[in-house]
Amino acid sequence: MRHKVDRRKLGLPGDQRSALLSNLARQLIRHGYVRTTEGRAKELRRVVEPLITLAKKDTLDGRRRARRILVGHSSASPAMRKIGLTSEQVAERSLLNGEDLVKHLFDNLGPRFKDRPGGYTRITKTGTRRGDGAPTAVIELVD
């Protein structure tokens, strides 16, 4: 019985699972679609839809919360300075790690879904994977 079981474990430890979902969320925001397994797509929907809702509201707190999920740290974090990175290197690393995605999320996707009350993603089942028979799906942002 699955009483009070809230999320899928996806066969991974917690830190790897959150890193996987963060990377999938980055790819979905960047490209508009991701081809993955059904379970991962269903969990990804639980991460991305609240991010788009935050982008619709466009507040400073919302940007900080989205940055925490997509980037994982603030762009000028003391830990980055502690390891000896200059401010230019920190800015470059932040762009590589998804800081540009936060801007894209709030500047492009937020206004795009402004009038939509929810349901920003669509999951389409695409059959099974050849190697192990895992059910696959495509998750995409709706128009």
Over the stretch 76-93, which tens digit does the pLDDT of each residue have?
556 656 677 676 766 665
What pLDDT band is residue 74 in, cutting at 50, 70 and 90? Answer: low
Q: Kindly state the average pLDDT of the residues 91-107.
A: 76
The CA radius of gyration of the chain, in Å to the nearest whole number, is 17
Q: For the domain covering 14-141, report its CATH number.
A: 3.90.1030.10
Query: Per-domain residue ranges for the chain?
Result: 14-141
Say whether 93 sits in a helix, a strand or coil: helix
Under the banding of pLDDT at 50, 70 and 90, the label for residue 114 is: very high
Using the CB atoms, write b or e for 26-40: b if 16+ within 10 Å.
bbbbeeeebebbbeb
Task: State the Cα–Cα distance between residues 33 and 28, nearest whole angstrom.
Answer: 5
